[in-house]
Homo-oligomer: A and B are copies of this chain.
């Protein structure tokens, strides 16, 4: 057996989300960490050997809090809101796509809406990446009870190998639930 000398690039799906501290279009600390880890430790100088697939899942604003001060007078207003949400997600993805282009790594990026853990697993089934990289806040058991963890769910349920990259202690904000 020999190492692959070319052929199809290795397709790595990277699940990314927005910063809970700075909001859109900023990426969360753990998303950025997972992306940078992938470039540094896996892709390295072999930029033609890999293709990164960025998936951002937007959580529907169930309590409508973000739109509390908005006035909805027509169906058009709702369409505008949905459009604005989508644009926010695209600006987040822009951060990752731009860096890939600068380095010369092929990539694709898209936005979905729903429960992140379920949508990520669904997209893995559909897109069939070689593996999935997810950032993780590295929460303790007590914190996990309240916020759940997408990375643990994906490790268990995604239909491809999964590698969870924990945020370093130095990057952890005062409230570890923030990201």
Interface size of A by Cβ–Cβ distance < 8 Å? 32
Q: Are B105 and A44 in contact (CB under 8 A)?
A: no
Partner of A131, one of B1, B36, B41: B41
Give the residue of B42, B102, B162 whose beta carbon is less than 8 angstroms from that of A42.
Answer: B42
Indicate whether A40 reaches chain B with its CB closer than 8 angstroms. Answer: yes
Copies in the complex: 2
Assembly CA distance A9 to B142 (angstroms): 37
Binds B, one of A45-53, A78-86, A107-115: A45-53
Among residues of B, the one whose C-beta sits closest to the C-beta of A159 is B166
In the complex, what residue of chain B is closest to A162 when comparing beta carbons?
A: B163
Interface of A is mostly: mixed
A23 at the A/B interface (Cβ < 8 Å)? no
Chain B proximity of A94: nearest CB distance (Å): 15
Would you call B39 and A49 a contact (CB within 8 A)? no
A155: Cβ under 8 A from any B Cβ? yes
A176 within 8 A of B: no
Q: Is the CB of A165 within 8 A of B161?
A: yes
Minimal beta-carbon separation of A167 from chain B (angstroms): 12
Residues of B within 8 A of A37 (CB): 161
A4 adjacent to chain B (CB < 8 Å): yes
Beyond the given A42-B42, A162-B164, please list 11 additional residue pairs across the A-B interface where CB-CB is below 8 A: A3-B39, A3-B40, A3-B43, A3-B45, A3-B46, A3-B103, A5-B45, A10-B42, A45-B46, A46-B46, A155-B155
